[in-house]
A and B are shown apart, each in its own frame.
Chain A
Amino acid sequence: MKRLVLPSAENNYRPWLLHLRGLLTLSFLLLVVFFNYGSVLNLFSRPAVLGWQGKNVSPAKIIELLNTARAEKNLPPLEVDRRLEYAAFLKANDMFAKGYWTHRSPSGQLPWYFIEAAGYDYQLAGENLAKNFSSSSSLVAAWLRSPAHRANILNPDYSQVGVSVVKGKLNGVPTELTVAFFAKPLSHKTSQLIKDVLAKGTLSSFQEKNLEVDPAVNYRSFKELFGLGILFLLLLAALADYYYTEKELPRRYHSYSHLHLIFLSVLMILVIFLSHQVGVIK
């Protein structure tokens, strides 16, 4: 590690990362991780969470896998409800139209806004989001690895589900969004109770108490952390190289370490101030 970023006799007084071999290795690693992330993970027998356009993600397969996971816990299967499917479709299209990928839309609409818009009366509801998975199995596996998503899938109170997979461009980037709504429908009796509550003007408190929202799975987080890590190491190496050439080799005439330092600092500034997703699992 020391040889990577600090100048020493072992690396001819230049951090290894700034050598051609080091830079070639970093370029190769970035290309592999950014463009073939799923395959890299497969090498370590982890479920693939491949980027770009998923080709094998289908609502039917997702629901089948969700019910398999529930069956393993002796839970009843989730029934498909067309209104929940439509609600998921509405949510996905809203995310494309407004360019966001969160549970709350930029205009403040919460997930159940879409459930209600689809004409579904719910007692309890939850939402799982995902984007750009390579297959239904990798998507469901990722949800099951996340405690919050897993809780939605294995919630015994949910009895119905609606899943929609929609392709489009999210902020100009080709994206495939998956939205799953889990819900427990209102019984007629409860529906009447809600109407009574509504009549008294206290529906909002009822909703807050009974609705659950869980974070979406962000397959990009690993890539972003990886990119940020590489940038940080390069900046560290450039800083060490600059310090060494200035303090230890003041007579080294042709040194351009300051150019690397300036460029990498500019990159770091941009990443810090503009990256909306680094370190954040939405």
Chain B
Amino acid sequence: MSSLVHRFLSEDKGMLNLLFLLIMIFWLLLVFFFDGLFYPQLISIFLLTLTYFFWGVSSHYIDHTLHLKNVLEYLLISFIGFLILSFLLI
């Protein structure tokens, strides 16, 4: 866990990581807050998965390692996450 935190903050893009993490936590809290409300919770889940997608893509972009393969990878994991959350929570 400590290595994860260290890695998370010590990289050049540590601030970017922190920003995206905070945004993700914000959407996470909104998903909790809107529990039982269909559309607000669905939108929060969508924005949560979108944040993860942009986080991954922007990290690769900054490191000059962005390829179509990476974009597809984040897109698919986001899609899977969205499907699971929307079906299990709503």
- List the interface of chain A (C-beta within 8 A of B): 18, 20, 23-24, 26-27, 30-31, 34, 99, 171-173, 223-224, 227-228, 230-231, 234, 242, 246, 254, 256, 258-264, 266-267, 269-271, 273-275, 277-278
Contact = CB atoms under 8 A, between A and B. Distances in A.
A41 B83 CA distance: 20
B76 A23 contact: yes
Interface of B: 3-4, 7-8, 21, 24, 28, 31-32, 35-39, 48, 52, 55-56, 59-60, 63, 65, 69, 72-73, 76-77, 79-81, 83-85, 87-90
Contacts of A264: 77, 81
A235 B28 CA distance: 17
27 contacts: A18-B73, A20-B76, A30-B83, A34-B83, A99-B36, A171-B90, A172-B38, A172-B90, A173-B38, A224-B87, A227-B83, A227-B88, A230-B84, A234-B77, A246-B7, A254-B65, A258-B4, A259-B52, A262-B24, A263-B81, A266-B48, A267-B81, A267-B84, A269-B28, A271-B88, A273-B32, A274-B32
A20 B89 contact: no
Given A171-B36, A267-B85, A258 B65 contact: no
Contacts of A99: 36
Contact of A30 (B24, B80, B89): B80
Say whether chain B's binding surface is mostly helix, strand, loop, or mixed: helix
Contacts of B90: 171-173
B84 A30 contact: yes
B87 A227 contact: yes
A264 B74 CA distance: 12
Contacts, number: 99
Contacts of A259: 52, 55-56, 59
Contact of B73 (A23, A173, A273, A277): A23
A266 B80 contact: no
B88 A27 contact: no
B85 A270 contact: yes
A223 B69 CA distance: 29
Of B37, B39, B65, B81, most buried by chain A (CB within 10 Å of CB) is B81
A20 B24 contact: no
Contacts of B83: 27, 30-31, 34, 227
Contact of B21 (A31, A262, A267, A274): A262
Contact of B28 (A260, A261, A266, A277): A266
B76 A27 contact: yes
B85 A271 contact: yes
Contact of A23 (B24, B48, B77, B89): B77
Contact of A263 (B4, B39, B69, B77): B77
Nearest to B27: A266
Contacts of B72: 20, 23
A142 to B, nearest CB: 19
Nearest to A170: B38
B4 A261 contact: yes
A182 to B, nearest CB: 31
A26 B81 CA distance: 11
A271 B39 CA distance: 18
A32 to B, nearest CB: 11
A27 B79 contact: yes
B7 A266 contact: no
